[in-house]
Amino acid sequence: MPDSSRLWIIIAGLSGAFTVGLGAYGWHTLDEGPDYLRESFNIGVQYHMWHTLALIGVAWLCKHGAKRLASFAGCAFCSGIILFSGSLYYFGLTSELLISGAAPLGGGCFMLGWALLALSAIRAKAKNVPD
């Protein structure tokens, strides 16, 4: 099993590749349907990519001493990607909600992830982790 920082970089890399593929698929496949479906799908892609990039910050903090909180942040980001972006992907493809309330719950996971990321940085600094 790889160390936690390496694991988060692997997850970020796979998530990023998946996001690019989904973005291309959505852009080229949903061009004939209603605009709101394509827009919803693309919002999912945007949030997915931003939080994939946040996973790189998680990896950095895991490497520099705030491993537990940073890993919790990474789990929150991954949960948000699945719930928020996944809901928008499904809606964009089918025009139906798979699970009512999944997108707002995913948004809450994103906010929790950012708060945990900040807290992990504060804790890392308190432990005199190098910049």
Residue 20's pLDDT is what? Answer: 97
Low-confidence ranges of the chain (pLDDT < 70): 1-2, 65, 126-131
Q: Is-above-0.85 flag for pTM?
A: yes
* CA 49 – CA 28 distance, rounded (Å): 18
Question: Over the stretch 79-116, which tens digit does the pLDDT of each residue have?
Answer: 999 999 999 999 999 999 989 999 999 999 999 999 99
User: Comparing C-alpha atoms, which of 85, 61, 86 is closest to residue 72?
Assistant: 61
So where are the chain's domains? 4-126
* 3 state DSSP class of 28: helix
